Amino acid sequence: MKKMILINVITIIVLVVIGVLGFWFWHNTTSYVTTDNAKVDGDQIKISSPASGQIKSLNVKQGDKLDKGDKVA
């Protein structure tokens, strides 16, 4: 009887290990797209303000929510 319980426990452990390894392999092969010859193409544009000068102070802090038309400097 003890031999049968030991065989069942070992079988369950082996099946769990096979399941975990199978899931890991499936997840790593289906979740990521890989390539050997990637190329990025895009246009560069210059962004500038219509007014010249320097900003002396900002009236907002990082993370503040703003609405359209709010003054920040």
Cα atoms in the 13 Å half-sphere on the side-chain side of 5:
2
32, burial (CB in 10 Å: exposed 0-12, middle 13-18, buried 19+)? exposed
Q: What is the pLDDT along the chain (73 residues), one digit of tens a residue?
A: 889 999 999 999 999 999 999 999 998 888 777 788 888 899 999 988 888 888 888 888 888 898 998 888 7
Q: Which two tokens stand for residue 54?
A: 């320097």
pTM score over 0.85 = no
